[in-house]
Amino acid sequence: MAFSLMTGVCADELQCIVCLELYEEPITLPCGHSFCKVCIEQHWESREEATVCDCPNCRKVFPIKPECQKNVALAKLVEKTKLVPGVNVEERRCTEHGKPIQLYCKDDESLMCVMCLVGQHKNHEVVPVEIVHDELKGVLAAKCPELSNAKQHLESQLHQLKWEVEQTQDSGKGTVDRMEEKRLALYQYVDKSVDLMKSGVIKRQNEKICLLQKQMDKVKEQLNSLHETNSTLKAALQDLETISFLQGYKDVIKRLESVSHFQSLKMAQPTVLDFSKEEKNLGSFIKLHENFLKNIMKPVELQMSELDQSSLRRLYGRTPSLDPNSAHRRIKISRDLRTATRTRTDNQYPEHPDRFDRCVQVLSSDCFCSGRHYWEVEVRSSSWWRIGICLNSMGRKGEGKECRLGGNPESWCLQKCENKYSTWHNNQRTLLSVPGNPERFGFLLDCAEGEFTCFRDSRVLHVFRGNFLVPVKPAIEVYGDGDSVRFCSFIPF
């Protein structure tokens, strides 16, 4: 039973019992029952005795046809109900039959009317909206602790990042001051070297502070998202109006799912930049040869290796989507376009010029040619695979090396085969030492630097170098029947 917060009455009480719809120009009979003006007139006209007028509700007979005048108060209530904030009366009706929504199909997760029972929802599990309303509210209520834990986790991360920013700021101050003292012992040539080294220290410091600030901004964004989601969740749980709640339920669930992984992202131990090397070198400058002095004056920049994987996820994390139009027919793509599974038989894919016809591979629909992009791939369900990137121009038709990931100049990949790991480019193999049996690998594409880095945890396994200022795509090859490889999910920034 729909309840209007604005009018304070149930919407069902504002329905004509003849047409089962909201009153249109309502009139009230002497017996006190109300009907649409058109409905009551059509009822009387349909009677065998045209001179007999009765009430369709209580069956009271009126010897003289009552004078039907509009019930102004009832009409105003109907109009207010139609204007209830956020509720569109038409959305309360079945789009196919135009009847009031009273049921919910659990199989299709959709609202429906009684007439839908004989249509596409036949033999489905169907329950009244009031029942599923309570059930789904329980689902949302169960999400509250999870949301609260994620919020606390992010607040802790923000606190840790703030501390690291302060430590980074303090770490450079002492070094710069001590360099200034030793500067007095240096002559004109050494004086220039000190200025260059100070600039390098400050540059590293500022770069890290900038990166930490970006992480703080991301955490703040996630906190804001959590606050908004929390408000949306509370509003949904307090919503007394059944249909409105059900119509917004899927959006609430999607928002909850989008933040459910916040607490799983663990921060690495805080690191503070170490400038002891610069200070030690400066003390030795006076005694060193001029050529050596020129060599150590080269500025030291913040390296990508100083970033842990948690930072890479927050700053550059992406969730590539698989392109079904490129998938070999022996690769099945999951509904969320993130998992590639090798099958024993062909899948019914239409012909497409981008589809691999011999190499059992699939590309991402994402294409990168600028900036930095980091993604991770879960391989726990596969023992034989290749994962990497390729130029969009790499061949698709045929089984030669020109179409195989890592077999040509247009592709780069990491491979696992017979529990051995290696990298491939232009059909050249480089063996790697990878202890254990990792379930996940990370990949960082730095287009400007022309680097493609493969990670295992925070350890760099290999760095490819090439021209990545042209469009490149993440790519996957799966060997074993039934094996699966999956792109891990990150929140897009």
Distance of CA 469 to the CA centre of its chain: 27
Average pLDDT, whole number, for the chain?
83
193-202, 294-303, 311-320: lowest mean pLDDT where?
A: 294-303
DSSP states of 160-229: HHHHHHHHHHHHHHHHHHHHHHHGGG--HHHHHHHHHHHHHHHHHHHHHHHHHHHHHHHHHHHHHHHHHH
| Model pLDDT, residue 422 | 97
d(CA 64, CA 360): 84
pLDDT at residue number 236:
79
Higher pLDDT, 460 or 245: 460
**Confidence label for 385 from pLDDT (cuts 50, 70 and 90):** very high
List the one residue out of 165, 189, 439 whose CA is nearest residue 290.
189
The pLDDT of 260-274, averaged and rounded, is 65
User: Residue 49: its pLDDT value, please?
Assistant: 65
According to DSSP, the β-strands at 34-36 and 26-28 are antiparallel
* Per-residue model confidence (pLDDT) at position 252: 80
Q: What CATH number should be reported for the domain whose range is 1-85?
A: 3.30.40.10
Q: How confident is the model at residue 86 (pLDDT cuts 50, 70, 90)?
A: very low
Using CA atoms, how far residue 414 sits from 198, 371, 405, 409, in Å, is 40, 22, 9, 15
pLDDT of residue 295: 59
Question: Which stretch of 163-167, 284-288, 473-477 has the lowest confidence by average pLDDT?
Answer: 284-288
pLDDT in tens, 97-138: 878 888 899 888 889 888 888 877 888 889 998 888 888 888
- Among 198-207, 234-243, 300-309, 387-396, name the most confident range: 387-396
Both tokens of 191, joined, read 């004086």
Per-residue confidence (pLDDT) for residue 291, from 0 to 100? 58
Per-residue confidence at 36, pLDDT binned at 50, 70, 90?
very high
Which CATH number does 316-487 carry? 2.60.120.920
What integer is the mean pLDDT of 63-76?
86
The 10 Å Cβ neighbour count of residue 17 is 12
Identify residue 253 by its one-letter amino acid code. I
Q: Which residue has the higher pLDDT, 435 or 300?
A: 435
Q: Is the pLDDT of residue 316 over 70?
A: yes
Confidence of residue 491 (pLDDT cuts 50, 70, 90): low
Tell me the pLDDT band of 304, cut-offs 50, 70 and 90: low
With 70 as the cut, is the pLDDT of residue 492 above it?
Answer: no
Find the mean pLDDT for residues 370-385: 94
CA dist 283 and 273 (Å) reads: 19
Q: Say if residues 410 and 391 touch (Cβ distance below 8 Å).
A: yes
12-26, 204-218, 303-317, 367-381: segment of lowest average pLDDT: 303-317
pLDDT confidence bin for 477, thresholds 50/70/90: very high
Domain boundaries, the chain: 1-85, 156-233+252-302, 316-487
Residue of 78, 92, 89, 84 whose CA lies nearest to 28: 78
What mean pLDDT do residues 82-88 have?
Answer: 56
* Better-predicted residue by pLDDT, 394 or 177: 394
CA 115 to chain centre: 37
